Structure 1
Amino acid sequence: MKRLEYTVQFVTPAFLGNAFQQGQWRTPPFKALLRQWWRVVKARECDYDHSRLREAEGCLFGHAWLKDQSGKQWAMQSRIRLRLAEWRGGRMQQWQNDPPVFHKEVGISGRKIGSHLYLGYGPLTFKRHKGTGLKQTPAIDANEAIGFNLGVTAQDESDLQRTLQFIHWFGTLGGRSRNGWGSVSLESLNQQNGFNLAPTDSILSGKAIQELLKFSRPLADCLQLDWPHAIGTSNERLLLWKSRFHFDSWSQAMQELARIKIAFRTKLDAPVGKAGDRHILAYPVTNHKVNGWLENGRDTNRLANQLRFKVVQDKNNKYWCLAFHLPCGLPEMLQEKLGPNKISTDDQLRVWNKVHGILDKEMKRIQGTQEGRP
Structure 2
Amino acid sequence: MIITRYSKQRLAELNLEVEFLTPTFLGGADQNAELRAAPFKNLLRQWWRVACGAKFPDWQEMLCAESDLFGSVQEGCTKVSSVRVHVAANKKELCLSEAPIELGRTRHPEVGRGGNGMPVGNALYLGYGPITYQNGPKRYITPSSKARMTIVYPRIHEKTINTVLQYIHSFGTIGSRSRNGWGSVALSGEGFNPEPLAHFPTKSLQELLNGNAFPSSLGQENGLLCWQVNNLFSQDWKDYMTVLASTYLTLRTAINIKPQGLQERHILGYPVTNHSVGNWGGNNGRMPSQLRLMVKHNTEGKLVGRILHLPHKLPKRWDTQLGSELSVWQSIHRKLDANNQLQRAGGNQ
Normalised to the residue count of structure 2, the TM-score between the two structures is 0.87
State the distance in 1 between where 2:219 and 2:63 align.
Answer: 21
Aligned to 2:98: 93
1:258/1:26 CA distance change after superposition, 3 Å: same
Q: Contact 2:26–2:174 at 8 Å: present in 1 too?
A: yes
Aligned to 1:366: 345
Q: What secondary structure sits across from 1:272 in the alignment?
A: coil
1:197/1:346 CA distance change after superposition, 3 Å: farther
State the distance in 1 between where 2:53 and 2:155 align.
Answer: 20
Shift in Å, 1:233: 1.2
Aligned to 1:77: 80
Q: What secondary structure sits across from 1:220 in the alignment?
A: helix
Q: What secondary structure sits across from 1:226 in the alignment?
A: coil
1:344/1:186 CA distance change after superposition, 3 Å: farther
What are the superposed Cα offsets for residues 201-244 of structure 1, whole Å, 9 maximum, x if unpaired?
Answer: x3xxxxx31x21x2x21111111232111111114x21111012
Letter in 2 for 1:228: P
Aligned to 2:131: 124
Aligned to 2:178: 177
Q: Is structure 2 residue 15 aligned with structure 1 residue 5?
A: yes
Q: What secondary structure sits across from 2:54 in the alignment?
A: coil
State the distance in 2 between where 1:63 and 1:367 align.
Answer: 36
Which of 3, 17, 23 lines up with 2:27 in the alignment? Answer: 17
Percent of paired sites with the same residue: 34
Aligned to 1:233: 220
Aligned to 1:349: 326
Shift in Å, 1:318: 4.4
State the distance in 1 between where 2:303 and 2:74 align.
Answer: 43
Q: Contact 1:81–1:151 at 8 Å: present in 2 too?
A: yes
Shift in Å, 1:346: 5.1
What are the superposed Cα offsets for residues 160-213 of structure 1, whole Å, 9 maximum, x if unpaired?
Answer: 01101110110001111111110011111xx2xxx32216xx3xxxxx31x21x
Q: Is structure 2 residue 181 aligned with structure 1 residue 197?
A: no
Which of 222, 235, 245 lines up with 2:208 in the alignment? Answer: 222
Shift in Å, 1:66: 4.7
**Residue-pair matches, total:** 331
What RMSD, in angstroms, separates the aligned Cα atoms of the two structures? 2.3
1:346/1:101 CA distance change after superposition, 3 Å: closer
- Where does the alignment leave 5 or more consecutive residues of structure 2 unmatched? 1-10
Q: Contact 1:101–1:255 at 8 Å: present in 2 too?
A: no
Letter in 2 for 1:19: A
Shift in Å, 1:8: 0.7
Letter in 1 for 2:88: A
Q: What secondary structure sits across from 1:82 in the alignment?
A: strand
State the distance in 2 between where 1:41 and 1:97 align.
Answer: 35
Q: Contact 1:25–1:90 at 8 Å: present in 2 too?
A: no
State the distance in 1 between where 2:58 and 2:299 align.
Answer: 39
State the distance in 1 between where 2:255 and 2:182 align.
Answer: 24
Which of 107, 118, 121 lines up with 1:111 in the alignment? Answer: 118
Q: Contact 2:19–2:145 at 8 Å: present in 1 too?
A: yes
User: Which shifted more, 80-89 or 5-14?
Assistant: 80-89
Aligned to 2:287: 303
State the distance in 2 between where 1:95 and 1:196 align.
Answer: 35
Aligned to 1:338: none
Any residues of structure 2 matched to 1:290-329 within 5 Å, and which? 290-294=277-281, 299-314=283-298, 318-329=302-313
Normalised to the residue count of structure 1, the TM-score between the two structures is 0.82
1:87/1:23 CA distance change after superposition, 3 Å: farther
Letter in 2 for 1:30: F
1:343/1:19 CA distance change after superposition, 3 Å: farther
What are the superposed Cα offsets for residues 242-295 of structure 1, whole Å, 9 maximum, x if unpaired?
Answer: 012233311111110011102211121222231100011101112222233355
Q: What secondary structure sits across from 1:238 in the alignment?
A: coil
Aligned to 1:60: 69
Which of 257, 266, 271 lines up with 2:244 in the alignment? Answer: 257
State the distance in 1 between where 2:226 and 2:13 align.
Answer: 32
Shift in Å, 1:65: 4.5
Aligned to 2:146: 145
1:157/1:280 CA distance change after superposition, 3 Å: same
